[in-house]
Structure 1
């Protein structure tokens, strides 16, 4: 019976990614937020449904499928469902290290953005945040989301990679190769190489054809393959090559090779028997 179905479903967690204080996924059917404020930015995408909300006493509406909503810190806002089916939303709460509070006024003037590229980047960021172990990818995706948001707020203009992208890309690849097992954060890499995070990402992709987090994952998979065929157990291999745990290794290994690590390791046994 429909009356037995929960009218609200939520999940929330705090990821291990600097600048993101909370991730919230929710389905509301009859909920109404009272007016309130946050000390963070709230970056929301709707998966379906519609929501009516006010920011600084000015009402707005957003519908799933295209809109991105950015609510600034310290500014009162509310929100309510528009129809009986409610709405499904995904929210990232970003601290002021990601977006300076001085841009709050621009966000109040235009909190809703019909930007397909921004929405796509946010969706990919949520995907990277769904499981532990992909923090480097999440940091990279957050940097590109931040750049796009600052563009909407009038804070920056997107720049093409500066001169000598190959030199910068090679330096980053060398750093990643030296940190396959231990890993490196995007901000740490940017500090070591004296470059802006998004500049690093663009130089690397322009030079090598894939983003730095994908390159690092591929190098870890290569090392895992050799260890598995040498007789190492998948759980042991996962930590040796820098994955968070065996589940993290399984997910990426299967995506790369269409076979889980344990089955790939069995090739070693069959080869030895033959």
Structure 2
């Protein structure tokens, strides 16, 4: 007996990210009627392909490609191959969300328009995917969400906006990077914000990310994870429960601690603690 293909849709409005909505969907038989959005819509096709009519042309967005529509432009959508359908991750962004990225550009356009409905750019596709995963993952830090979204937006506008702009040249700012690093070290258990770090460091958010990475080898959100893991590793030598350690160092829950710890050390926090106890470490 043949069963109809499964369609799945998940929509999310990330906390503390006003004007941002996410969709992760798999469609097979869905046919969108002609419609428009008041937001920018940008996403990546993960599997399959989608046909849509946009700006007077028939377009196909296939796996690995970025598809987008601008506010007010009418479009539709359906599977390029009916029995295969398509899976995609989409952002729906209020125009105000693009403002921080526009402020980073050396030549700032008065408005943002994108002529292409389909973009073949692996670097942009990777940024869209990373940002979507971060914003759609429960418990992800606000710092990671803000950083990856800003990175996606600035690259998208600078490289593919109708009026091409560029980002300012990077200047070494060791003092600013040191200020941000000290804040992260001291307040690693808090849900830090990129805009707050940038204000304290005296520069724009995107500039701070570039300067911090050049100085310390990691962007601020990744450095924050390393600090939290380091603090957790020290606490594993105490009797504290794993869930309490996760909360104490700033992870959303024990599963987040476990995932990041294993990614860095190759073992879970529980296995690491057992190793210390079994080897008779006097500090364990």
Equivalents in 2 of 1:267, 1:82: separation in Å? 53
* Structure 1 residue 74 displacement after superposition: 2.6
Distance in 2 of aligned mates of 1:160 and 1:245: 39
**In 2, distance between residues paired with 1:111 and 1:206?**
34
Matched with 1:18 is 17
Give the 3-state SS of the residue equivalent to 2:139 in structure 1.
coil
Which is richer in helix? 1
Per the alignment, residue 105 of structure 2 pairs with: none
CA displacement 1:1-31 (0-9 Å, x = unmatched):
4x31434222222222525622211111221
2:240 pairs, out of 213, 218, 232, with 232
Residues 272 and 51 of structure 1: is their aligned pair in 2 closer, same or farther, counting only changes over 3 Å? closer
Partner Cα separation in structure 2 for residue 155 and residue 18 of structure 1: 27
Length-normalised TM-score, structure 1: 0.89
1:29 match: 28
Distance 2:266 2:200 in 1: 36
Q: Is residue 19–residue 96 contact of structure 2 (8 Å, CA) maintained in 1?
A: no
- Are the aligned partners of 2:60 and 2:80 in contact in 1 as well (CA < 8 Å)? no
Stretch deviating more after TM superposition (228-237 or 146-155): 146-155
Question: With structure 2 as the length reference, what TM-score do the two structures score?
Answer: 0.86
Q: 1:19 and 1:155, CA in 2 relative to 1: closer, same or farther beyond 3 A?
A: farther
Matches of 2:253 and 2:85, distance apart in 1? 37
Kept after mapping to 1: 8 A contact 2:179/2:200: no
What whole-Å deviation, never above 9, does each CA across 1:163-214 have from its counterpart, x for those lacking one? x322221121112112111131112212232322111111011111111111
Structure 1 residue 224, shift from structure 2 partner: 0.5
Structure 1 distance, partners of 2:155, 2:139, is 25
Q: Secondary structure at the match of 2:221?
A: helix
Equivalent residue number for residue 157 of structure 2: 150
- 1:127 is displaced (CA, Å) by 2.6
Partner of 1:62: 61
State the match for 2:184 in structure 1.
176
- Secondary structure of 2:98's partner? coil
What residue number does 1:113 align with? 119
Return the offset for 1:111. 2.4
Q: 1:77 to 1:191 in 2, by over 3 A?
A: farther
State the alpha-carbon separation in 2 of the partners of residues 95 and 265 from structure 1. 46
Structure 1 alignment gaps of length 5 or more: none
Whether contact under 8 Å (1:41, 1:71) holds in the other structure is yes
User: How many aligned positions are there?
Assistant: 269
